[in-house]
Structure 1
């Protein structure tokens, strides 16, 4: 069935998880560090389902790597790819801070080890870390009301060869946006990041320059963020896989439940003509979420804003991200 039909007739909302104000697609507007410096350029994307997160971090557009055969990448291009970040991770909210654990990640080590202390006003969500090493300013991206779908990938199998292509990851659809993470087939490569040496993935890529057979398993991973709709499809805007830029995120037909209704199955034929089967566990399937740019405040605060609007609002405008 089409994903729209699955959402319409088989909504299964998670009974717990993050609050409604945290749901949706955020882009980072800025990160400020304890040394007084600030980054407003890096593309950083955060898509939030009820109980897991998808995260993507890339350099500015003209510094991203173009698609080409693996053996043709230069050392500098591989070093750039080696600094890409993309991951999916389950999360826990304690009412003040959000913690992530057991991620499926492009990197072999965890670059972001601290929980996030979160507070949101309007479309601005501020994230503090306990060590005070940095503070991040996130902006909820504009979207009309729409579905929230959170599915965590169990595995992605080529049925023709009966081989696992990806293990771990997830799919989040939130209104006008969607993101997909496909982990490497060897799940052990994505385990125990905190114990891995820093930047091992980047150094492995550089060391494998010119060697397609060595590069391919290192790069058999995807995190992509897309824009569109469930009726017209989602087109990739940002991705860890250069050859996937501008492509459709995934087919929207071929979804079904397993025999006992606890997993979502996705059957499709890929661009190479291979029959594929993805198995997902269900976080949440919700037909109608409102990704509002506003947050509640007190009656007195509203009166104050109205009273002082001539000066307070003379230059105000929506701000979604500083990323270039």
Structure 2
């Protein structure tokens, strides 16, 4: 059965009040720029961040088609919100890279459809733009996979987030492949230690924008193909199971529902004081003459 056409109507709608994260963080975000403490600014690296209730998906590519397999970045991680200090951080068990490249928590400020992320150390500030407006919001977190022939089960990292018309999915390396990276911090060193490029490049993070067709991915061969939303079933315990191929072998993928809303309104404006609104109306002729929504 198809996830969207056959399964969604049977899922319980999530209670937004049970989400600990500030609601402006939910959705799909494109990084417009990053500015570093030394004055350098990067506006060209492809970076997307999808946020569900309790986990996030991240993809970073210096070039859509020509990023070296040793330099690609992507991960899925538990999202941790420090209410007292208003800091966002992530717990990442496995990522495409065998080391943590972005260790700092984030100090976040929403303004309009933009989220400014400041590194507390002063290392950088990132400008993120919300891509979603309204529509389906779904987060599924992979809990385990099962080899269909042997019924052996494995713990793998993975998940799926649908934010409006945009989709992000993650599928980590198989455990026996991931073990090869245990004492390696640099993927080029992995290659020097005779870890095959196919093993390095078997961690998938794929992003589809405006449809289910993959626009960006850690696996170049998947660009232009569709994210697989078929062969799902809803189990009695509330989990969702999908049958799919992994390295040419049939597996069951078991997901838990993280968040579901059939018609979610993603936040694209931020609060302002009465005086600020009055000022903007009073001065709108020169303030908004060339202004437009940038995503």
Same fold (TM over 0.5): yes
CA distance in 1, matches of 2:107, 2:294: 22
Q: TM-score, normalised by structure 1?
A: 0.81
1:5-32, Cα deviation, whole Å (9 max, x unpaired):
4322312426233122111111111111
Is residue 114 from structure 1 mapped to residue 114 from structure 2 by the alignment?
Answer: no
Residues 81/268 of structure 1: CA separation in 2 closer, same or farther (3 Å cut): closer
- Which residue of 220, 225, 229 maps to 1:247? 225
Matched, 1:205 2:180: no
* 1:90 aligned partner: 78
Residues paired across the two proteins, number: 290
Q: 1:108 to 1:154 in 2, by over 3 A?
A: same
Task: Specify every segment of 5 or more residues in structure 2 that has no aligned partner in the other structure, as ranges.
Answer: none
Quote the offset at 1:49 in angstroms: 0.3
Q: Which has the bigger relative contact order, CA under 8 A and spacing at least 6? A: 1
Match of 1:26 among 26, 29, 46: 29
The reply to whether residue 169 of structure 1 matches residue 144 of structure 2 is no
Gaps spanning 5+ residues in structure 1: where? Answer: 65-79
- Cα pair distance change 1:190/1:7, threshold 3 Å: farther
The more displaced of 290-299 and 17-26 is 290-299
Compute the displacement of 1:268 (Å): 4.3
Structure 2 match to 1:238: 216
In the alignment, which residue of structure 1 is the partner of 2:2? 2
Local SS of the residue matching 2:215: strand
What is the CA distance between 1:216 and its match in structure 2? 2.6
Deviations 1:127-170 (Å, cap 9, x if unpaired)?
Answer: 011111111111111x3411211111123344246567881111
Q: Where in structure 2 are the equivalents of 1:271-290 lying within 5 Å?
A: 275-290=250-265
Provide the alpha-carbon RMSD of the alignment.
Answer: 2.7
266, 288, 293: which one aligns with 2:242:
266
Q: Secondary structure at the match of 1:316?
A: coil
SS of residue matched to 1:243? helix
Cα 1:187–1:255, aligned 2, differ >3 Å: closer, same or farther?
Answer: same
Question: Any conservation in 1 of the 2:108–2:115 contact (CA below 8 Å)?
Answer: yes
State the TM-score, normalized to the length of structure 2.
Answer: 0.88
The question of whether the paired residues in 2 share the 8 Å contact of 1:237 and 1:246 is answered with: yes
Instruction: Measure the CA separation in 1 of the matches of 2:64 and 2:103.
Output: 27
Distance in 2 of aligned mates of 1:196 and 1:312: 55
User: Greater shift after overlay, 14-23 or 82-91?
Assistant: 14-23
Q: Which residue of 2 aligns with 1:76?
A: none
Match of 1:217 in 2: 199
Could you tell me whether the CA contact under 8 Å between 2:65 and 2:220 is conserved in 1? no
Structure 2 partner of 1:226: 208
Confirm or deny: 8 A CA contact 2:23 2:267 kept in the other structure.
no
How far apart are the structure 1 equivalents of 2:227 and 2:257?
19
Q: After superposition, what is the alpha-carbon deviation per residue over 1:209-248, rounded to whole angstroms, capped at 9, x for unaligned?
A: xxxx72332222100001245xxxx110000001101100
